[in-house]
């Protein structure tokens, strides 16, 4: 009877308490890390390099891509990540709406038992912090330089290399691993 009807909750999105994030795996050896491309222009070049760097460390990755950066990921995509991967890196948020949507994706996956990290640009650190406070989720982020779209491929690869230690730390990898 509800075909074609979508109900929206008109109440404010706010939580009184912060829920801690799911603990990352003890090791990334033998597990697969999802790399969720949010669909921003040039973000794939950053993720390409990140995938290569993780592969060089014998960390298996699996790529996913959202159809648009201005909405949360489709439920099917989140479910596939939750059933095939043990951690997630969501990249590359460099505006308000994509930062908000990516934060919701991170929270949704965390609730499904998949720990992760959002890669965001420095201009949206406060937006990420505000969104995590609003939804009551102590999500992890790694910050890179802003903006992204006008960077060369070499610069985007260098950004991924600089972000790697933070990504690994957020996923529970200690420097010696």
Q: Above 50 in pLDDT, residue 107?
A: yes
HEC secondary structure over 26-53: CCCCCCEEEEEECCCCCHHHHHHHHHHH
Asked if residues 119 and 112 have their Cβ atoms less than 8 Å apart, the reply is no
What per-residue confidence (pLDDT) applies to 176?
46
What SS3 state is found at 63? strand
The two tokens of residue 108 are 């949704």
Domains of the chain, CATH where assigned: 30-170 (3.40.50.10140)
pLDDT tens, residue by residue, 138-164 = 999 999 999 998 999 999 999 999 999
Backbone angles phi, psi at 110, to 5 degrees: -60, -40
Instruction: Give how far Cα 174 sits from Cα of 16, 28, 97, 135, Å.
Output: 32, 10, 32, 29
Please identify which residue in the block is written with the tokens 């990516």.
102
- Give the helix/strand (H/E) hosting 120: strand 116-121
Classify 39 in phi/psi space as left (phi over 0), alpha (psi -120 to 50) or beta: left
pLDDT per residue as tens digits for the range 22-57: 999 999 999 999 999 999 999 999 999 999 999 999
DSSP output for 129-159: HHHHHHHTEE--EEEE-S--TT--HHHHHHH
Token pair belonging to 122: 């420095």
Q: How confident is the model at residue 83 (pLDDT cuts 50, 70, 90)?
A: very high
């Amino acid at each position: 009877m509800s075909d074609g009807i979508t109900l929206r909750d008109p109440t404010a999105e706010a939580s009184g308490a912060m829920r801690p994030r799911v603990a990352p795996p003890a090791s990334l050896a033998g597990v697969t890390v999802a790399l969720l491309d949010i669909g921003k222009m040039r973000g794939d070049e950053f993720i390409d390099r990140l995938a290569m760097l993780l592969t060089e460390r014998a960390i298996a990755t699996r790529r996913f891509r959202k159809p648009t950066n201005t909405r949360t990921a489709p439920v099917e995509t989140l479910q596939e990540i939750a059933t095939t991967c043990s951690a997630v890196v969501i990249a590359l948020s460099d505006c308000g709406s994509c930062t908000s949507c990516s934060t919701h994706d991170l929270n949704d996956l965390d609730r499904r038992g998949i720990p992760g990290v959002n890669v965001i640009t420095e201009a949206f650190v406060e937006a990420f912090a505000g969104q995590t406070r609003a939804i009551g989720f102590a999500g992890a982020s790694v910050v890179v330089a802003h903006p992204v779209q006008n960077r060369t491929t070499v610069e985007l690869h260098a950004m991924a290399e600089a972000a790697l230690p933070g990504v690994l730390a957020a996923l529970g990898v200690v420097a010696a691993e």
